[in-house]
Amino acid sequence: MEHALTCPATSYRGRVPHRSPLALAALADAAVRDLDPVAVRPGTEAVEDLDVAEVTDSRKRCWTVRAPRSPVAATRIEREIRLLAEVGDQLPFAVPRIAGTANLPGGGRAVVHPVVPGQALDLEALAPRASLTAALGRAVAAVHDLPLRLVEEAGLPVYSAEEHRTRHLAEVDRAASTGSVPVPLLARWERLLEEAGAWRFIPCVVHGDLAADNVLVDGEQVSGILDWGEVRIADPADDLGWLAVGAGTDVLSGIVKAYAKARRERPDGNLSRRARFTGELAMARWLLHGVAVDDATVVDDAVHMLTDLELAVGGRKL
């Protein structure tokens, strides 16, 4: 197969074009000395501003290669490189084990690691599967029990409880300024943010980007977690928001119960409330992203999501 380095030699002043699977296979060949690619296919991992492919080598080993297409994505990759070597042996599931990197012509690095086993989590399948629900709670607890020093020494963000609340206040203000967020939702969020007691939590290591696509399962167990570029020390509720809005109240309750039992430190009593807030605020972030990049399709999508959310929760308090 063609092994020439075919990635575009552009700078990171903006996004670079998508790289083909063959180009990514060439990067894998360059990154890992004994990796001789014989087959390649587009990756199933869906991450904005990353090109992803799965490569099979002459020894029938399967690899994932990821290359950033923007400065933000390149920064996430560098964070992963610094962190993953430290956390892999401390977690009860697999994480990407970086086997090699390849410098990109315009800056940044592509990374190559063995394919992490498992299938992407199906949120709709959680409700009747109590064992998997409990396993997910334990997996999140294992992340949150990682030593704080791993994040601090890697130079990743660290937020106190008050700093975290202040950041959320600023996000809600920016969302309100668009004029596209239903007023009852803004009032719902503001009431929780003004409730100082709801924000008395102990910051911990959080993954920061958990979603169904990057939580891998095998049967009733969590087999792996991907995409570690947003790790920080912050609110444990940050890693539960996607479940609060995507999996339903009963599933969230089961996850939090297993999570609390597995944590070394007892979670605070407002964890689930903040998780629901975080999940709802993600829709406002999507709106802000659409406004920032001037993408009417994203803005319309976010507005529809927020309208549906307002109809579902009305003016009820969190």
Question: Which residue would you say has higher pLDDT here, 9 or 102?
Answer: 102
Question: Which pLDDT tens digit goes with each residue over 189-219?
Answer: 999 999 999 999 999 999 999 999 999 999 9
pLDDT surpassing 80 at residue 283:
yes
Q: Give Cα 116 distance to the centre of its chain.
A: 16
- The pLDDT, as a whole number, for residue 5 is 28
- The pLDDT, as a whole number, for residue 121 is 93
- Min mean pLDDT across 133-142, 221-230, 241-250 is at 241-250
> Would the CA dihedral through 138, 142, 143, 145 be positive or negative?
positive
First to last CA, the chain: 56
Phi, psi of 35, rounded to the nearest 5 degrees? -100, 110
Q: Angle, nearest 10°, between helix axes 296-313 and 183-194?
A: 70
Helices (H) and strands (E) counted in the chain, each on its own, are: 10, 10
Q: In what order do the strands lie in the sheet with 37-42?
A: 37-42, 50-57, 62-68, 109-114, 100-103
Q: What domains sit in the chain, N to C, each tagged with a CATH number?
A: 21-114 (3.30.200.20), 119-313 (3.90.1200.10)
The three-state DSSP-derived secondary structure of 81-123 is HHHHHHHHHHCCCECCCCCEEEECCCCCEEEEEECCCCEECCH
- Rounded mean pLDDT of 171-181? 97
- The pLDDT, as a whole number, for residue 61 is 96
- The pLDDT, as a whole number, for residue 6 is 28
33 beta partners: none
- The pLDDT, as a whole number, for residue 247 is 87
pTM of the entire structure?
Answer: 0.89
d(CA 64, CA 113) in angstroms, rounded, equals 5
Question: Which pLDDT tens digit goes with each residue over 64-77?
Answer: 999 998 888 898 89
d(CA 130, CA 120) in angstroms, rounded, equals 17
- Rounded mean pLDDT of 156-183? 96
- Rounded mean pLDDT of 288-304? 95
- The pLDDT, as a whole number, for residue 47 is 66
pLDDT surpassing 50 at residue 1:
no
- The pLDDT, as a whole number, for residue 89 is 85
Per-chain mean pLDDT for the chain: 90
**DSSP tag of 217:** E
pLDDT surpassing 90 at residue 79:
no
